[in-house]
Structure 1
């Protein structure tokens, strides 16, 4: 059985859109693409080196696939080795489009159930890159084994978020953490079940609290 990990660059307010450059993904009027490069931090390189140690297979949404397919097969210079590695890796693309997947070793998946079946098959572990729309349904289906979050000390205000609409409530267990000299925080998390809700340890019995509760019930608070 394959493991499925999601690795994402995120801002302090949870935005993961277009970390790599201004033209990467400006949808929704997002104008801050390339935000990771304003905070270079040495803690990132070893993490990325571990994530992209072969063998692995990529799991991508269609837009992230299009971004990668237009860049990595053609990149030159010091990033050419990474481009070759991405081309050689299997790339599983969740899409309902009938547009061809022309990048070598690309495979179409027609939904979340197909990802569940893929996890049950033999092969290298799966790594999500980008693809913000995949996280809510994958978390809801219990298919993500680990999250690797590289949180940058920036607040972006708007943009596609890691935990977007449809994300189910849940608890995460911290596996590991590192803090870079410039404030980048790398954390590894594993899903750990539902949110535990307990009674307030010191509930108020004041008349003011009783009145506040009454106003809430009546829709006046």
Structure 2
């Protein structure tokens, strides 16, 4: 049995996952999650994920954005000692953040595939839109945990590839809508 690889994150209705927390992340419309009324129940999925996560995976840019903040964050304390994997051909291992648990740099999608074949539970990919597209195109993502926000951004990094590729069927595992317009959609990839 292989480990499950789950992409999790916030997405605009038009598929953009870029800069949900603020403009400092790079998108001119950044902070779009914060402009939607906060309802705790709409974010319950994030708490559920904490219980299921046995390892984290990031692309280089998302790692460089999240690691310095999450290492000392009370909201992300449960992640501190979990194994972390950064998929990058350019990240120097000396640039890894100290004090945030074991972190390994994977240099290829073949290394990700080998990791999935090992022992352990679910590996959650946070942010990392470019990595998510590459993992999906390689058939390595098993599930998408989406919180879709009622906003159209028009441009930005998208979760799903726009390349011409074979059809990929998904199965809706769980969904819920909230009064603030957020939709939770958990999809399993059918192989």
1:203 maps to what in 2? none
Judged with a 3 Å threshold, the aligned counterparts in structure 2 of structure 1 residues 129 and 174 are, in CA distance, closer, same or farther, namely: same
Deviation at 1:55, TM superposition (A): 4.6
Deviation at 1:86, TM superposition (A): 2.4
Give the counterpart of 2:85 among 84, 92, 102.
92
C-alpha distance in structure 2 between counterparts of 1:84 and 1:176, whole Å: 26
Alignment deviations for residues 40-71 of structure 1 (CA, whole Å, 9 cap, x no partner): 23333321110111552111000000011121
TM-score scaled by length of structure 1: 0.77
Alignment deviations for residues 171-192 of structure 1 (CA, whole Å, 9 cap, x no partner): 2111111001111000111123
CA RMSD of aligned residues (A): 1.7
Judged with a 3 Å threshold, the aligned counterparts in structure 2 of structure 1 residues 68 and 167 are, in CA distance, closer, same or farther, namely: farther
Q: Identify unmatched segments of 5+ residues in structure 1.
A: 194-221
Alignment deviations for residues 134-165 of structure 1 (CA, whole Å, 9 cap, x no partner): 22221222211111111000011111001134
Relative CO higher for 1 or 2, CA cutoff 8 Å, sep ≥ 6? 2
Deviation at 1:90, TM superposition (A): 1.0
Alignment deviations for residues 92-134 of structure 1 (CA, whole Å, 9 cap, x no partner): 0000114222343111001111111001111231001000012
2:4 maps to what in 1? 3
- Note if 1:102 corresponds to 2:100: no
- Note if 1:17 corresponds to 2:12: no
Contact 1:42 1:180 survives alignment (8 Å):
no
1:212 maps to what in 2? none
Contact 1:61 1:94 survives alignment (8 Å):
yes
Number of matched pairs: 184
Report which of the two has the higher share of strand. 2
C-alpha distance in structure 2 between counterparts of 1:137 and 1:13, whole Å: 20
TM-score scaled by length of structure 2: 0.89
Task: Mark the structure with the bigger radius of gyration.
Answer: 1
**SS in structure 1 at match of 2:180:** coil
Deviation at 1:15, TM superposition (A): 0.4
